[in-house]
Structure 1
């Protein structure tokens, strides 16, 4: 048996010093990118929340407008009915006056 041979295991050997510096620099760059990404994500979450709130307000406004329109339509119908009744009363009055 040859006991002087070393067994090479992947991932266990230390990188050369210049490679270590490059890896450290790359790690710093990745950490910086991650911070920026997290900041952008937080900004987008706030913007999304703001948009949701605006949409809720707009939806409430649409609901109020629909209710108001329905109320106007109801009043218009009541006015039409009242007008027709007034015309009917006037027609009866004219007929009664002709008979006299």
Structure 2
């Protein structure tokens, strides 16, 4: 009787071992699939990072060019402001001389007696 029980138990153990092996294979396949997907996501993230890095480099170069252009424009604006100021000073000087001439001319003509018409 003991032999029959051992024989039946052996078959059950084989089924259990086969089920466990099948379960392990299935779990291994799932893990391998997850690993592949993870590697694909990692590669995609690397490509996105490289693309972002390139965009950043281009933006930094553009910023440097814009700063240089802004500096040139500021220097030109200062030069134009100085020229404009010099022109204003020159015009004010001319106006002052003209006013002086007018005042002197008015003062001279008022001191001359005009003949009366009577």
TM-score, shorter chain, exceeding 0.5: yes
Q: In the TM superposition, what is the alpha-carbon distance from 1:23 to its structure 2 partner?
A: 1.3
The unaligned stretches of length 5 or more in structure 2 are 91-118
The unaligned stretches of length 5 or more in structure 1 are 1-14
- Root-mean-square deviation (CA, aligned residues, Å) is 1.7
Q: Does residue 25 of the first structure (1) align with residue 17 of the second (2)?
A: no
Q: TM-score, normalised by structure 1?
A: 0.76
Q: TM-score, normalised by structure 2?
A: 0.66
Larger Rg: 2
Q: Which residue of structure 2 aligns with residue 39 of structure 1? A: 26
Local SS of the residue matching 1:20: helix
Q: Which residue of structure 1 aligns with residue 42 of structure 2? A: 55
Counterpart CA distance in 1 for 2:56 and 2:35 is: 31
Q: Does residue 91 of the first structure (1) align with residue 78 of the second (2)?
A: yes
Counterpart CA distance in 1 for 2:81 and 2:18 is: 93
